[in-house]
Amino acid sequence: DAGVTQSPTHLIKTRGQQVTLRCSPKSGHDTVSWYQQALGQGPQFIFQYYEEEERQRGNFPDRFSGHQFPNYSSELNVNALLLGDSALYLCASSSPGPGETQYFGPGTRLLVL
């Protein structure tokens, strides 16, 4: 099991463009969470998907949207990119329920110019 995988590893975009990041969860996991980690900061929770629906959302604008597919993989979409969206985007997967923990992927580093 490769664990949580993310693609691409690096991405460069310009202001105003749109970006899609992808995540495949660890085998056996059905819940995917996305986090944004700016330089020198801890990860910030964006949202979580379970059963193909957004279950929880952090304090991020509507420019950030997501999707979960029947195979539990997920996409994070960011529209109208701003310079401040430059960050490492982390995906974490888990099973729902008490006692479960999140397993993190290696992240996608996004640079907005």
Interface with other proteins (CB under 8 A): 3-4, 31, 33, 35, 40-45, 47-48, 56, 58, 90, 94-107
CB of 113 to other proteins, least distance (A): 26
N residues, the chain? 113
Nearer to other proteins, 14 or 51 (CB): 51
Burial of 72 (0-12, 13-18, 19+ CB in 10 A): buried
Choose between 52 and 100: whose C-beta lies nearer to other proteins. Answer: 100
Least distance CB 41 / other proteins (angstroms): 6
Cα separation, 64 vs 100, in Å, equals 26
Interatomic CA distance for residues 89 and 91, integer angstroms: 7
Nearer to other proteins, 8 or 13 (CB): 8
